[in-house]
Structure 1
Amino acid sequence: MAPPSADGLKVIILGGGIAGLTTALALTKFAPQGQVPKIDIYEIRPEPAVIGGAVNLTPNALRMLDYLGCLQIMKDRDYGKTIDYLEVFDVYSGKLAESSFRGPEGKGVGDPPYKALRITRGDALKAVLAAVDAQENITMTCGKRTVKIDEQKDNVTIHFDDGDSATGELLMGCDGIHSVTRLKHVEPDRKATYSGVANAFGFAPIEPDFKVHFECTAINFARRGMLLTSYFNSKMDAVYVGGLMQVPDVGSRDGWKSVGADADKTRQSLLDRFGDAKIPCIVPLIEKAEDFFLWPVYTLTKYGKWSTDRVMLLGDAAHAMPPQGESTGIVFEDTVLFSRCLTRWMEKGKPGANLREPFEAYEALRKKRIEVAFDESKNVVSTVSDAGWLGHTIKTYVVPWFLWFTHGYREKHFREDVTTSDINY
């Protein structure tokens, strides 16, 4: 347990989701001796949001969660399902390819080895919350809506709609794609836009004798979208069903909430798109899934401003993009790499009147990787967009080749350990 320290920075984090919580853990974990920060997290929701779909935590993501003390909690609570490999299918013809996390000896990727873990967003958040609760230097307050951010030479103050305020030396904007930190302070003109695709998801309870076509996780391509089917718990008594597909823009966030609340309409849309699948379990899984939700996938522009002198954006607040297979892991990398840059600056004696030195070191280290991820996400959008028979047939030839061609790149990234890698600062 990390003790509080009056000598550490006073840090404010906006956002009590996975990005904000792991940022708090990383800042605590990497703090120099005697300089553990005092961290206050503020969340707009009345309580942490533990609803959502299921995410695949890749080996590099699990490595960081292990370092931050979260992975063992997931194991102790039996959260998630270990994923040895992803299987890729064409719903009309069968299996196309697979992407493995088993490593050369079958134990996982890296040293020590990790495979992957499919876990609900709710369970992942619960595990991280438990790790945060064990830290005496971190407090979290829910139900706080920020209305103003006032940055001065030596501090930054956030003002809430209830009249309260909080002041710190560093403000971390970890408040998602519609970030108040970005929109009210860092870059107000950089607004989220609809990507053209939406994610429909639900969870289908299954009987012990229900036969599926995959071992752990399947990515199922069709002419009008991609359907992910995956186990997400060790009991394997339910399947996560998530469709990523091209959907016309309804024009507003409130409009999307209204459309997304109609579970029966969302289910019917999936049946319209995947109902002609030749894989026998596809239609029954869609029919069995409970409480379908539809979420639009928003994105930011590829380039943008991440910081001011005392405010830094992390995760989706800085660089939200369509899902490209490693979105959650990228957020964890953000938190760890930024914390290491800040720690290096503190070890140097905190020179200068503001935080520009560690901010610039982090951005120089991180922006190239994010730009590559943006390009990868564009490929995902085009792959799940509606296509005719010819376009779909071409896709079934391209996808296996692409997975083979990029295998070395993915393997290298899965092995990377950003907790110890050279940050050149």
Structure 2
Amino acid sequence: MAITAKPMDILILGGGIAGLTTALSLTKFAPTPPNITIFEIRPEPATIGGAVNLTPNALRLLSHLGALDEIRSAGYGAECLAVEVFDLYTNLKIAESSFGGPEGKGLGDPPFTALRITRGEALKGVLAAISKHPNIKLLCGKKTVSINEDDSSVTIKFEDGGSAQGDILIGCDGIHSVTRLKHVDPERKAIYSGICNAFGFSPRRKLSTSNEYEPTHFSVSGMNFGRRGILLTSFHAPARTSIYVGALMQVPEIADRNGWRAAGADAAKTRNEMLERHSGAANPLIAHLIEDAEDLFLWPIFTLSKGGKWATERVMLIGDSAHAMPPQGESTGIVFEDGVLFSRCLARWMVTRREEGVPVKEAFDAYENLRRARIDVAFDESLSVVKTVQDTTWLGHKIKMNVVPWYLWWTRGYREKHFVEDVTSCDIGY
């Protein structure tokens, strides 16, 4: 097998966690480290946002890519052995989704549990790993106005008059992807899911009778199910002085982006909405966390239709730009898997087919053949989240509280199968 010494020139649109981890994956698996330039529209990488749960498969990949060591050395995140599920109106724990494995040490070999971490700190950890690779450049403040490709290259032109040319372009620019809308599949636009995430961070109250913190009913992460949505309450740092509060709830669609921006910025209205929706909670902590939450923001959740076009001859979509879906517990891990599997397919092409003059589209097709079925299943699963969040009657809530434990028990084996999977070494069929 011939290995070319000439490194590829790879362009990536999107300096979020998808683009950065894809760059790390390409660097790790390519036979010769490619020259990678990442273009981000914002003036600097966005280190704001809510808190995500990095499941065992996500942590395994971050470990392979060198980012988990950076996250751990910085002391980011709170280890999560399980997401506990509670009935809002009784405060009774009805179920849990565990990451502890049979011995409580995690899942897989080596074992990993999960990590609840803010999006900003996860991004900082990945940026720290990026900084150790001189072949990766990150350029911010670059707004794309056009994308063109021919038989030998792809060219991006920017609003500031500049341009960039590479062998391939990877779109990691999210649900409202410029790569998709300007080039790959312009007709495939984002669709509002009908639900929003209202989130903020609440400093813990001290008890009036002592200097101790108000106790929590959850160990690390708790999902509190009510008639009008789900409230996530979770620690996100080892000190446990702050609790992430995230409310998934049904919200009528607003006509345009400016309307959504105005709604998102109205913290007082969002707080009142959250309090009203979660009134009647058996645990007074619920109201306290909503009342004390700082930097409250309302974020509409958009999705893409199932299927769609992911690639042209030299441009590939990765992550939300290709298959954005409602949150279903492991979305971040799916994005990391995308980057690793695509990089492995591209690396195989570099080693076995590039010197023969075979178009790079063969690697793109191999990745799609490998990935489509998994994404379709995840998409179908995500639709159940939308149904769970929708407003319901008291009877509907009672039924839900009986169904959720059964559903989590029934699907445990399926979830754990993915949590132990290592896509850095699995058969890619190419």
- Which interval holds the TM-score relative to the shorter structure? over 0.9
1:333-352 mapped onto 2 (5 Å cutoff): 333-350=337-354, 351-352=356-357
Greater CA deviation, 235-244 or 91-100?
A: 91-100
Query: In the alignment, what sits opposite 2:408?
Result: 403
CA contact (8 A) 1:341 1:358 kept: yes
Q: CA deviation at 1:209?
A: 2.0
SS in structure 2 of the partner of residue 281 of structure 1: helix
Corresponding letter in the other structure for 1:340: R
C-alpha separation in 2, matches of 1:119 and 1:291: 17
Q: CA deviation at 1:404?
A: 0.2
Query: In the alignment, what sits opposite 1:22?
Result: 21
Structure 2 unmatched runs, 5+: 207-211
Query: In the alignment, what sits opposite 1:297?
Result: 301
Structure 1 unmatched runs, 5+: none
C-alpha separation in 2, matches of 1:169 and 1:415: 34
C-alpha separation in 2, matches of 1:349 and 1:87: 48
Query: In the alignment, what sits opposite 1:198?
Result: 196
Greater CA deviation, 93-102 or 404-413?
A: 93-102
Query: In the alignment, what sits opposite 1:160?
Result: 158
1:76 counterpart = 2:73: yes
RMSD of aligned C-alpha atoms?
1.0
1:212 counterpart = 2:209: no
Q: CA deviation at 1:106?
A: 1.2
Which digits, 9 at most, give the CA deviation of each residue in 1:59-92, with x for residues without a partner?
0000000000000111100000000111101101
Q: CA deviation at 1:260?
A: 0.3
Q: Choose the corresponding residue for 2:147, options 136, 146, 149.
A: 149
SS in structure 1 of the partner of residue 249 of structure 2: strand
CA contact (8 A) 1:154 1:353 kept: no
Q: CA deviation at 1:355?
A: 1.3
C-alpha separation in 1, matches of 2:213 and 2:192: 41
CA contact (8 A) 1:154 1:354 kept: no
C-alpha separation in 2, matches of 1:279 and 1:95: 12
Query: In the alignment, what sits opposite 1:379?
Result: 384
CA contact (8 A) 1:224 1:385 kept: yes
CA contact (8 A) 1:153 1:353 kept: no
Query: In the alignment, what sits opposite 2:227?
Result: 223
- Overall identity of the aligned pairs, in %: 63
C-alpha separation in 1, matches of 2:380 and 2:10: 33
CA contact (8 A) 1:6 1:38 kept: no
Q: Choose the corresponding residue for 2:54, options 37, 54, 57.
A: 57
1:268 counterpart = 2:266: no
Q: CA deviation at 1:135?
A: 0.4
1:47 counterpart = 2:47: no
Which digits, 9 at most, give the CA deviation of each residue in 1:296-334, with x for residues without a partner?
000000110000000000000000000000010000000
SS in structure 1 of the partner of residue 425 of structure 2: coil
Q: CA deviation at 1:6?
A: 7.0
Query: In the alignment, what sits opposite 2:85?
Result: 88
SS in structure 2 of the partner of residue 111 of structure 1: coil
Corresponding letter in the other structure for 1:373: A
Q: Choose the corresponding residue for 1:177, options 175, 183, 195.
A: 175
Corresponding letter in the other structure for 1:46: P
C-alpha separation in 2, matches of 1:282 and 1:391: 22
| TM-score relative to the length of structure 2 | 0.96
Corresponding letter in the other structure for 2:140: C
C-alpha separation in 1, matches of 2:97 and 2:421: 18
| TM-score relative to the length of structure 1 | 0.97
Which digits, 9 at most, give the CA deviation of each residue in 1:129-148, with x for residues without a partner?
11111100000100000000
C-alpha separation in 2, matches of 1:209 and 1:130: 33
Q: CA deviation at 1:194?
A: 0.4
SS in structure 1 of the partner of residue 284 of structure 2: coil
Query: In the alignment, what sits opposite 1:258?
Result: 262
CA contact (8 A) 1:7 1:36 kept: no
Q: CA deviation at 1:8?
A: 1.1
Greater CA deviation, 350-359 or 380-389?
A: 350-359
Q: CA deviation at 1:279?
A: 1.9
Query: In the alignment, what sits opposite 2:9?
Result: 10
Query: In the alignment, what sits opposite 1:131?
Result: 129
SS in structure 2 of the partner of residue 330 of structure 1: helix
SS in structure 1 of the partner of residue 295 of structure 2: strand
C-alpha separation in 2, matches of 1:333 and 1:367: 12
SS in structure 1 of the partner of residue 253 of structure 2: coil
SS in structure 2 of the partner of residue 218 of structure 1: strand
Q: CA deviation at 1:251?
A: 1.1
SS in structure 2 of the partner of residue 135 of structure 1: coil
CA contact (8 A) 1:155 1:310 kept: yes
SS in structure 2 of the partner of residue 301 of structure 1: coil
Q: CA deviation at 1:400?
A: 0.4
| 4+ aligned runs moved over 2 Å, structure 1 | 351-354
Paired residues in the alignment total 419
C-alpha separation in 2, matches of 1:353 and 1:45: 36
